[in-house]
Amino acid sequence: MDNNDRELRYGSNVEWFLHEISAVEMSDIDSGEFEIYGEDEAGREASSYIDITELAADALQIIVNLRKQRDAYAAVTKTAESREKLTAIRAEGIHFAANRILAAWKSGFIKATPSEVADVSGAVLSALEFLPSATAEELTRDYADKARADIAAMYEQPHDARANPHVAVEAPEVEITGRLAEDAE
C-alpha cells in the first residue's frame, strides 16, 4: 500500500493537533510525543499523547492528496479553457468563410439568387452549433477536397450538358462519414 493511501491515524483531528503542537514548548515534547488536552462529547476533560512522526505523516498525506486534487482540477480547467479558445478561433474561421461567400456574391463573382446565397451562407454559419462537439475528422478538409474533385469531374462531361442548365447532371457520389453522415440522413 502506498504511504499516501494509508488510513490517517488522527483522522479529521490533524489540523487541530497541528495547531496545538504549534503552541507547545519544546521542553514539553518527550521522545517525539506531546500531550494534548481536550474534552469529549460529554464535556469530560481528558488528555492524550500525540506521536509527532505519525502526525507529520498524516499531514503529509493530506497535503499530497490536496495537491493531486488541485492539479487534477487545474488540468481539467486548462483543458476546458483550451477547448473554448480553440472553438472561438474555429468560429472566427466559420464567420470568415460566410463573409467571403457573401462578399464574392455581392461583387458578382458568384452567380446565384439572393435566396441561394442566403441558404449557403446560412449553412456555413449553422456549423457554429456543431463546432463544440465536432470530431477531429470533421475539422479536416478531406471531405471538401473529395467533393470538389467530384464536382470538377462533372465539368469533364460533354459541353452540352454544362451549357444547358435544364439538362440533368447527375450529382457526384461522395462518401459521407461521421456526424456528417448522420446529418445527411
- Tell me: the pLDDT tens digits for 3-49? 557 788 888 888 888 888 888 788 777 788 888 888 888 889 988 88
List, in order, residues 6 or more apart from 125 with CB less than 8 Å away.
94, 95, 98
pLDDT one-digit tens code per residue, 75-106: 877 787 888 888 899 999 999 999 999 999 99
For residues 61 and 54, is the Cβ–Cβ distance under 8 A?
Answer: no
- Residue 71, domain member (yes or no): no
Q: Which domain holds residue 30?
A: 3-66
In terms of Cβ atoms closer than 10 Å to its own Cβ (0-12, 13-18, 19+), residue 131 is middle
**177, three cell numbers:** 462519414
When divided into structural domains, the chain yields a total of 2
Task: Let me know if residue 130 belongs to a domain.
Answer: no
110 within a domain of the structure (yes/no)? no
User: Is the residue at 27 inside a domain?
Assistant: yes
The secondary structure of residue 131, as a DSSP letter, is: G
* Inside any domain, residue 183: yes
Q: Which of 66, 86, 108 is the last residue of a domain?
A: 66
Residue type, 125: L
